[in-house]
Amino acid sequence: MHVLFILNDPPYGTERVYNGLRLAAGILKQDAENRVTVFLMADAVAAAKAGQKTPDGYYNAERMLKRVLAGKGEVLLCGTCMDARGLCDADVTPGSRRSTMDELSAVTVSADKVLVF
């Protein structure tokens, strides 16, 4: 099964990114045949910022994205949203990459399920 997660909220301040990434990692862990794509748009692109330092005991969105990537998931970032927030390709977690609305459209059509957080 291919599940597409579209995350919109900032990585900190609400728990939507946190919960979306927890579910994405869980789906990958449940069955090696599952395919997960995480598309970060709007303020959620900040979740892929490399080098995040969070207080002890607090979740870290970058580490959570790395878990998705380690499970063979795909992490895509809206390029327009990156530009609007001053993020360049060198700023993001290795393995994640700039994407487009055209690619999001294609992934949405090919996914079995689409979850929006």
Which phi and psi (to 5°) does residue 61 adopt?
-60, -35
> Which residue, chain included where needed, has tokens 């709007």?
42
22-47 tens-digit pLDDT = 999 999 999 989 999 999 999 999 99
If pLDDT is split at 50, 70 and 90, which confidence band does 7 have? very high
Spatial distance between the Cα atoms of 23 and 15, rounded to a whole number of angstroms: 12
9, 16 Cβ separation under 8 angstroms: yes
Residue 97, pLDDT score:
98
> What pLDDT is recorded for position 113?
98
Q: Mean of the per-residue pLDDT values for the chain?
A: 97
CATH match for 2-116 among 3.30.230.70, 3.40.50.300, 3.40.720.10, 3.40.1260.10: 3.40.1260.10
Could you read off the pLDDT of 96-113 as tens digits, one per residue?
999 999 999 999 999 999
Does this model's pTM top 0.75? My answer is yes
Tell me the pLDDT tens digit for each residue of 80-98. 999 999 999 999 999 999 9
Report H helices in 31-90.
Answer: 61-70, 79-84
pLDDT at 69: 98
**56 by DSSP, 3-state: which?**
coil
- Predicted confidence band of residue 2 (pLDDT cuts 50, 70, 90): very high
